[in-house]
Amino acid sequence: MKPQLSDKWALITGASSGIGEEFANQLAAKGMHLILTARREDRLQQLAEKLFQLHGTKTVVIPADLIQPEGVEKLIKEIRSLPDPVTLVVNNAGFGEVSSIENSDLQKLIDIVQVNISVVTRLTYEFLPEMMARNDGGVINVSSVTAFQPVPYMGVYSASKAYVLHLSEALWAELYESDVRITALCPGPTKTEFFDKAGATSWLSKNFAHTSSQVVSKALQYYESSHPFCIPGIKNWLLALVTKFGRRRRVVWEARKVFHKLAKEKQTEKVD
C-alpha cells in the first residue's frame, strides 16, 4: 500500500538546488508541506514562494550550515518547535571532492564525512523512532552509484556513500514488518551543481547524465513501493551489477583510469 503523503510534512536537506530542489517540487505536487534547509536562504525563499503559488504548499525555511555541528542542532531545535510531526526525511545534503592525496584539502574531506555520514545518521535516528511509534513515515537517503565500489581520487566520497547505502539497507530490514519505509537513492551522474563543486567541471559535458526530475521521480516510485534502494537508469544499474561480479582489484583499477584523468585536469586548472 502506498504511503499517504498529502497534507503531511517532509524535511529536505540541501534543498536549494539540484536533486533537493526537485524533491521539493515533486513532493509539493503530491500535496506535502515542506521544511527546507540549506545554506542559501535566498534560494530557499524563492523556492518556497514558487511552490506556494503552484500548489499552495506550506513551507518552513530553516537556513543552516550542516558542516557545523551547531547548524545541525539549530535545525533540529527549530523543527521540534513546529506543531506538526515530520513524516518524511529526505537526507539529500552532501558533497564530494576530486583530488589526489597530495592535493587534497584535509578539512574538506572531514567536512564530507560530517555532512555525508554524521548528518545523515543524526537526522535518520532523530525522527525514525517517532515514525515507528505512529507506524507512519519514512526516510530517503541520497547515496550514489559510487556506493557500490571504491573510487580512487574520490575515496572519501565513495566510502561515505557506501555507508549511506549500507545503513539504509540495514534499517529497511529492521523496519520490514512496519509501515515505515526507508530507501537509499543511488543515482549516477546527474545534471546538478555537484561536479562543479567537486572540481570536475568538465564531467557533465563529456558524459551522459540524468536530469534531477528523472532521478527524483524514480526515487519516489521506489520509496512508495518500499524498495530498499533505487538506481535510476539501466546503465547505472548494470554498472552497479558489474562491480559485484568483477574482481575487486580490477573494478577499482578501471575506476582509477577515469578519475585519475579528472584529478589531473583539476590540477591543471588550478595551475592555469
Q: What is the CATH number of the domain that holds 34?
A: 3.40.50.720
Q: Could you give the number of structural domains in the chain?
A: 1
Instruction: Examine residue 2 and state whether it is found in any structural domain, yes or no.
Output: no
Taking all residues of the chain, what is their mean pLDDT, rounded to a whole number? 89
Q: Please state the φ and ψ torsions of residue 60, each to the nearest 5 degrees.
A: -115, 120
Give the integer Cα–Cα distance in Å for 256 and 263. Answer: 10
Q: What is the CA radius of gyration of the chain?
A: 18
- Run of H or E including 33: strand 33-37
How much is the pLDDT for 52?
97
With respect to residue 120, please indicate whether it lies within any of the assigned structural domains.
yes
**Catalytic residue IDs:** 157
Identify whether 214 is part of a domain. yes
Could you tell me the residue range of the domain that residue 42 belongs to?
9-271
CA distance 122 to 182: 15
pLDDT digits (tens, 9 = 90+) for 110-154: 999 999 999 999 999 999 999 999 999 999 999 999 999 999 999
Percentage, residues of the chain above pLDDT 90: 74
Cα–Cα distance between 93 and 71 in angstroms, integer?
Answer: 13
* 3: in domain: no
